[in-house]
Amino acid sequence: MGKAKGRFVDFRDLTGLQRIEARSLRPKWKGADFLRMSFWVKPDGKISRRAGHHQLVDFEARKIEGRMKRAWDQTPEMSRKWKSATFHFAPER
């Protein structure tokens, strides 16, 4: 029999105690930041403290990707500049 696994749960769907636990992980975040995130809930109902065990909800991630794409599309000259850029590790003189 395999191990029981946790799952990502939207902050809005967490219980009151789980919300308190999630807020204790990121005390400097604003309230609105938590509403954009989902947290990994272990099988025992506790919030995981591991790095990377919180992520943007799909809707918020798509919004950010859309903004990035629009910003890139608005500057086609940037595409040409990056295609011709040369990167090296030589010290600047």
Q: What pLDDT does 80 receive? A: 58
52 Ramachandran zone, left/alpha/beta (phi>0; psi -120 to 50): left
pLDDT tens by residue, the chain, 93 residues: 456 688 889 999 999 999 999 999 889 989 888 888 899 999 999 999 888 888 888 887 788 788 777 776 666 666 555 555 555 566 655
| pTM greater than 0.75 (yes/no) | no
Q: How far is CA 83 from CA 1, 67, 69, 73, 86, in A?
A: 52, 22, 17, 15, 9
> What is the C-alpha separation between 72 and 90, in angstroms, rounded?
29
Q: What pLDDT does 28 receive? A: 92
